Structure 1
Amino acid sequence: MSKIVSFAMEVDGNNHIFPLVFAIVENESYSSWHWFLNHVKKHVVKEREGICLISDRHSGILKVVNERGSPWLEPYSFQRYLFYFINHFYDFVNNFHDKFHNSQLKVLAYRVGSRNQVRKFNSIIEEIGKLNVQARQWFEEHSLCRWTLAHDCGKRYGLLTTNMSEIFNSVIVFLPITSCVQLTFYRLVHYFDVRRLLGSTAQAKGDMFTPHVLVKQVASMSKATTHNLKSFNRAKGILEVVTQKGKNVQVVDLEKKSCTYGKWEAYKYPCSHVLSACAYLSLNIFSVPHESYWPKTTIQGMFPISELKRKEKGRYRSTRLRNGMNIKEGKKNNLCGICRQPVHYQNTCPSRSRKRSVDP
């Protein structure tokens, strides 16, 4: 009996794969993918929004994801294509190579999709157009956000391939079904055991980053000290950063959390240009972490601050501290509006009462 193992995996903050769900099906088809992806949505993703689904371009997957009423449509999730995998039939680069059969174009195809800077993307796509106009048109027929890192808007967190999950799949696909399930189960238990220890150790040490990100940040901090900066708008945090090596120019906008280098948006942690800009303005880039890192509270509701509450109706009561200059000489007596006599007011005036009794 032939079998296909369908996997849904995530990549954690330390760049390690984490199996979420798997299923053994007879073949890859629309019905099998419809069943599998609907269960992933129902039992794993649930009501979460902003999920990035990276998959190959199998017709069954594309139909399930893009059909009307699909729970995988934006803004609930964002589909991105598997960009490159060795000997994979449905990945984007190999599809391109199967159509044009040009090794030079294949190399450029990988480069154009993996560049995180729009400037470099435009340069390479122009080079492809000079070699083969139809090849450039083939690229432009596909939505740029689904296969390029430069136009991804940070949805795929810099991941271009599913190599790690494909390697995991290649290990178990030839095993008997019982062995396949056992191996997957015990491998998952091992992941939980080892990574729980790593996570608790890092928290005890007070580490702000995972080891994978920490290595990147140390390298970026070293580069940040060599950059030259020019402030364009200090209030909004807009600066021009010139690198010492290559004299490349990048523009950082701290208010919009963007950098023309592209890595801040793609990988969600600051590049050397952003770190340099924050140091220049004496800002702490990590002052307010993501909501998922906020401490939990037992408070059920929100309580207003009394000082910020709106005042009662009527004239606003002055909080000014009065002194001797504010005291008037003598006291002004209020007079009745009808008889112009003191002591009483218009609504209690005796003259008003007599007038009512005289009128027929």
Structure 2
Amino acid sequence: MDDGLESYNGSAIIDPMVEQYEVNPDDGDDADEEPPEIPDDGDEEEEMNYYDHFTRLNLNAMTSDWSFTQGGPEEFPSNDFEVGQQFGNKEEVMLVVKQYNIRRAAEYKIVESDHLRLDSNVIAQHIFTMVKADPTISIRILQGGVENHFGYKASYRKVWLAKQKVIARIYGDWEESYNELPRWLFAIQMYLLAFKYCKPLISIDGTHLYGKYGGTLLMAIAQDNNANILPITFAVVEGETKEAWSFFLSYLRKHVKPQPGVLVISDRHKSIDGALNVEGSLWKPPHAFQVFCTRHIAANFMTHFKNKYLKKVLINAAYSKSHREFAHYYGRLRGENVAITNWVEKMPRSQWAQYADEGRRFGHMTTNIFKCINAVMKGSCNLPIMALVKLSYFHLGELFARKGSEALAQLQVGAEFSQTLMKAIEFNSKHVNTMNIYQFDRSRTNFMVEELAAVPGSRQQNYQVLLDERKYYCGYFQALHIPCRHMFVACSHARLDWKQFVHPMYRMESVFNVYRSEFRSIGHDDDWSSYDGPRIWPNPRMMRVKRGRAHELQDS
């Protein structure tokens, strides 16, 4: 829970099975709209904790050492002239002449261009090694490097154009990249059953492409039963429209085959809502259920009411696992401002309050598992489409191999449950001796557990535990499907094994099944099967280089 607001019944305890996220009050639903200008790619990123296993991208996995000269960047011609010096071509001579004059603050003029000093070709040669080392490097950092080297500050657009030229040299031509994509996808077609063994929920959202051609990368993200993030579906579309989301969701259901009753977590974007709830959709109950991200709800709340204290009350109400806890916080909202509760009641409680979702969230209250992937993918969203697809494929192949090996190793040493579950079990079993228990039936299934004040972060509370009905009135078990601390006390008193109350999904065998299938390695393209299908070309209207002065566009 957020600092500054007391816990109602022990929710201030840091629960290892429940995500703990900060809310950014500036994040509204309109944050996903197309930016009016070419965005800076990475100067201000929202701080969050990412899962370690998905923060290591090997961007060199499919790159070649292409450069602007045949010998590579280290063989660029010198900035000085020498008697008898020879050049390979006219462009090489012009490049040296430009650099020679720029370094000496001397003006020069090229007949074909109005630029008197730096152009994108000169900048591209200078930033080549920086971009190759880190394709995610921001334009502002590159601007600073150019200014330090040449003594002149190049415009954002000119440096952006130069970076696109470097990206094209390293990863291939932008247009040909689209044309090559169908053949590559045809060569790697395969079918994995990973999602079948994951938690029955997905987080969906989109992220902008920032390369020469714009567009939006739509993704569906799942999580295995050991808290590892797993992207299951990708699609590149022109924008976040209802039609684009309908296309994405139809293929997700057709090819990924989500479990019956799967939960979809998203923001309140109108295009997503429209696609999920269109007439005849199989993304409505009982086939699927839609819930909203608490972070986005809180951001919308701040837009309407601008009250940070009540925003925290709203978040606590959303995270409440029991009706009693929810009523406590919701009553405070109603007492402060009836208009707030009227605004909240426009959303069905099952779509934003954890206690009312019948345990479908498994503790996932936000789309932050998507945000984690988005932060990683941001480095590849300015690359040509083939580089983006290859990067995703190679990284997922490495992820499956590594996580599959880890899960198999756990099984071989006799691990029965996932490490994430065992951490939660260890946490919840610590307070068994700090509670009183009262038995109310001969069969030892009906108990009342009294929490003492000695439990850290908790008030003294009484909870009913019905073991035979699997009802525990703190709401923890219903929300997360693992034994709560009150159940541990009851099981200990009744001499029952707590393992029988654990959801089968948390068994180590289930974790291994997610990664049982393996990706195929990709050989040389000369060995691929012949492809005679359709070709793809990028939509020229999606080119980002479409604004600015005429001579800047000619400079590209």
TM bin (shorter chain): 0.7 to 0.9
Please tell me whether residue 225 in structure 1 is matched to residue 433 in structure 2.
yes
Q: Give the C-alpha shift of residue 222 in structure 1.
A: 1.6
Over 3 Å counting, the alpha-carbon distance change for 1:234 and 1:184 in structure 2 is farther
1:60 counterpart residue number: 271
Alignment equivalent of 2:475, drawn from 240, 252, 262: 262
Q: Shift of the alpha carbon at 1:126?
A: 1.1
Question: Distance in 2 between the 1:228 and 1:110 partners?
Answer: 31
- Does structure 2 conserve the Cα–Cα contact (< 8 Å) formed by 1:5 and 1:169? no
More contact order relative to length (CA 8 Å, sep ≥ 6): 2
- CA change 1:214–1:290 in 2 (3 A) is closer
SS of the counterpart of 1:255? coil
Distance 1:283 1:12 in 2: 28
CA RMSD of aligned residues (A): 2.0
User: Residue 156 of structure 1: SS of its match in structure 2?
Assistant: coil
* Residue of structure 2 equivalent to 1:247: 460
Unpaired stretches in structure 2, ≥5 consecutive residues? 1-212, 454-458, 510-556
Residue number among 351, 363, 374 corresponding to 1:169 in the alignment: 374
CA contact (8 A) 1:153 1:266 kept: yes
Tell me what 1:28 maps to.
240
Supply the distance in 2 between the matched residues of 1:148 and 1:104 (Cα, whole angstroms): 18
> SS in structure 2 opposite 1:18?
strand
Would the aligned equivalents of 2:355 and 2:475 in 1 still touch at CA under 8 Å?
yes
| Structure 1 gap ranges (5+) | 85-90, 296-360
| Matching residue of 2:124 | none
For 2:294, what is the secondary structure of its paired residue?
Answer: coil
Give the Å deviation of 1:164: 2.5
TM-score normalised per structure 1: 0.75
CA distance in 2, matches of 1:143, 1:150: 12
Instruction: Write the distance in 1 (CA, Å) between the matches of 2:237 and 2:443.
Output: 57
Q: CA deviation at 1:291?
A: 6.3
- What's the CA shift for 1:209? 1.9
**Matched AA of 1:77:** A
Q: For 2:375 and 2:293, how far apart are their aligned partners in 1?
A: 17
Partner of 2:314: 109
Letter in 1 for 2:408: S
Secondary structure of the structure 2 residue equivalent to 1:74: coil
Aligned to 2:350: 145
1:190 lines up with 2:398 in the alignment: yes
Q: Confirm or deny: 8 A CA contact 1:116 1:263 kept in the other structure.
A: yes
3-state secondary structure, aligned to 2:408: helix
Counterpart for residue 127 of structure 1: 332
The whole-number CA distance in structure 2 between the counterparts of 1:201 and 1:54 is 32
Cα separation, 1, equivalents of 2:409 and 2:434: 33
Mapped contact 2:224–2:230 kept (Cα < 8 A) = yes
Determine the structure 2 residue equivalent to 1:8. Answer: 220
Aligned residue for 1:313?
none
| Alpha-carbon distance between aligned partners in 2 of 1:211 and 1:187, rounded to the nearest angstrom | 23
How far has the Cα of 1:196 moved from its partner?
0.7
Paired with 1:232 and 1:106, the residues of 2 have a C-alpha distance of: 41
Other structure's SS at 1:5 match:
strand
Sort the Cα spacing of 1:236 and 1:175 in 2 relative to 1 into closer, same or farther, 3 A. Answer: farther
Aligned partner of 2:281 in structure 1 is 70
Amino acid at match of 1:138: W
1:157, 1:268 within 8 Å by CA — same for their partners in 2? Answer: yes
Deviations along 1:241-262, one digit per CA (max 9) or x if unpaired, are 1112332111111122121111
- Is 2:224 the partner of 1:44? no
Deviation (angstroms), 1:289 = 6.6
Number of residue equivalences: 288
- Deviation string 1:224-256 (CA, Å, 9 cap, x unpaired) is 232211112343712111112332111111122
106-115 or 22-31, larger mean C-alpha shift: 106-115
